Amino acid sequence: MLTTRYYSTDTDKNFSLAEASRQDFARISDGCPIHAANQSATYCALDFLDDQDDSPDDLTGDFSEFFLETFPECFPQALAEELFQVFRPHVHRYRHCFDRPAKSPRNSEIESAIRNKGQDGSHVFDRDGWRFVLRQFQSWMFSPDNLGRKLYYTSGGRMALLYLDVDTHLAFQTKEDGLAAQAVIEEEFWSRLGVTPPFLGSERGRNGYLKVDVGHAEPEEANQVFDELQIAIRLLLAKHGNLADFEVKGTLTWMDRAGTLHAGRYGKLPTSSPDWTYRWQHDFMRTPPITLEQVKDFINQIRASVTEEDVRRHEVARHNAFVSHYLPVGPEQETKLAREFGSWWVEETVETYRQRKWIARSVLTERMIDKLWPDYEPEIISAEREEDAEPVAAEANNPSTVTTPVAGCSQKALDEIKNEPDSLKRQHEALMMLARRLKRVPSLDEALGFVKEQELFTGSWQQNARRRKARVKGILRFISQTFNAAKCKNGSVNVGKYTDWAAKKFPNGIVGGMRKCLTPEGDVYEVQQRISVSPQFIAVFMAVCEHALVQDKNDNDAFPHERAKKLWESLYAKKRISVKFCGRKWAICREAMVRFGIVKITDRNYCHGKAMKWDVGDFFPFLGRWKSPKQPSLLPAVGLADFLWEKNTERDNEHNTLLHQQCLEMALLGLLQPSRPPP
């Protein structure tokens, strides 16, 4: 005979009802409450034991092996409800999605849903003609049909669930590197905090989960601590010589007082892992959370234990491993690979390392390697420090070394500089560009790091290191004698340039058009916005667009909304304009100018970290782009002498008297009269 044990979620005690019938068993699976000892309690888990094995140890609250193995199959609905209750305190209620992050709800949609909560159609949106419904985090997401699907999430609220992502997707990274990284992280957390984050296997490494009680700290501050934790664990792996990549995901999504949503980095819930079991879930539920202050102490301890020599040795090992397993891809190789496999395959396979494209040796045949890279030898760096050798340039995730701010330098201009054969001219032009971006003369370490990162040197980095250092020092000395930081500007916004143009073209301004909405039944209807935009606002809009699209355009053609807002607010704060910035009016102006062909939106896809791409249109004022280029004549070319001879012949053959202009029939009929002589 079987005994059914019910584990209460309302109290810490366990209740046992002997000889429960199968009907009661089925009722529990549907979530019905069971009354025990004249009290009502909701039970989320139950166990079956033979009466013969009914010992006192069975009442300790631990689930038996039989229960842990059979519960997911016997009670899928109860399991879904339990998983929902476990993850609900951690997961943001709106920012989550299935399968891939591209299906994520947009920040503007979440902001609108929160702002208009309770109204009809507040959670239904029109995405280029198809219906998108913003759904809250619910228990059906853990139903048997969805249990194995990838469910991406970000944390929300006081209890964050950090996703410790150990990646081994590069060609030189192995499965053993992922397991070793997991062991290092588990050991450090247990020895310093007394907590071991549970890990699971994934397609490309290992994934761990850490509960963090944020407390009363601001979400922005907590996310900064999580970024520092990511850097600290990377340093920890560098200390142990582990080549696996590491990221902290599942960070907080929060909304500021102005109603702007700040999205965190997506992590994956553990139920999609092939290694996930209910036994693992039970261990995860027992793992206690740690506080944000404990995380800060952990970060400080890790940083104190890692030396610069550990980081340098790790960077050398990582560089040697990368160049040994990858091949550099130039324009010639990329063209031939695209012809052989297709451009889509090349884009998916190529990796970027130190501003260059690389492809793994493992995806190519030996014949193709010998054909495309006949004389290639990888640049292997010795692990021993040499007298004249500079340390290996640190990657972006290493905070202990100097990084060069090259984000603002034009990559097209740098590519042109690289073609200069003279090293002195090449490095002088590049360092002048760096000085203009920094608005000061760069230091020697910054200059050398910039030269190395952009590969503006000849030969290997170890060769002629002393001469290179002396040359760069001389260039910096020469730049310091003539450099004037006051002249370093990105251009200014000409706020008065378009005032008369806007008043002439839009004397009554612009009125906001129709807005498409959806009813709960899925029917599309339009609502008149009736937002009036004045000519003064249009004039400032055009001035800001000219600055961002003509004078100081981003290399990737992106025009972030936040950049336009900061430019506008800066002009308003300096009292150069009298019109305040408005996001809705900005959007109305943008769409109106797109309709008139004044600006173009080349890419409307935007998300966290990616902005829409803009460009000037054919009818952007004062640029003359509407003029079509003059087409060459289809007639053969004629020399000047021949042209003048033909013109003179035509003029000599002209008859400008009335007599010669009369027809022959008039002369035959006797009607021809002599013309009047000239006066």
pLDDT along the chain (679 residues), means of 10: 40 34 37 36 42 35 70 84 90 89 86 87 83 87 86 91 92 90 92 91 89 91 93 92 92 89 91 88 90 93 89 88 88 83 78 83 86 80 49 36 45 71 82 80 85 80 80 85 64 81 90 72 70 91 89 82 89 88 90 90 85 89 75 71 70 52 50 52
Residue 274 sits at φ, ψ, to 5 deg, of -65, -20
CB 527 within 8 A of CB 515: yes
List the one residue out of 561, 588, 605 whose CA is nearest residue 106: 605
CB 417 within 8 A of CB 427: no
Task: Let me know how long the chain is.
Answer: 679
Residue type, 99: D
CA distance 510 to 513: 9
Residue type, 46: L
List the one residue out of 518, 555, 514, 516 whose CA is nearest residue 409: 555
Element at 208 (helix H, strand E): strand 205-213
Domain segments of the chain as ranges: 2-74, 148-306, 310-384, 402-488, 499-616
CA distance 133 to 117: 13
Handedness of CA 592, 596, 599, 604 (dihedral sign): positive
Q: Provide the pLDDT for residue 44.
A: 44
Q: Provide the pLDDT for residue 80.
A: 87
Q: Provide the pLDDT for residue 466.
A: 80
The owner of tokens 């079956």 is 48
Q: Provide the pLDDT for residue 384.
A: 53
CA distance 210 to 395: 26
Residue type, 628: S
CB 164 within 8 A of CB 208: yes
CA distance 441 to 481: 10
Q: Provide the pLDDT for residue 644.
A: 73
CA distance 466 to 360: 34
Note the helical H segments in 30-95: 65-74, 76-87
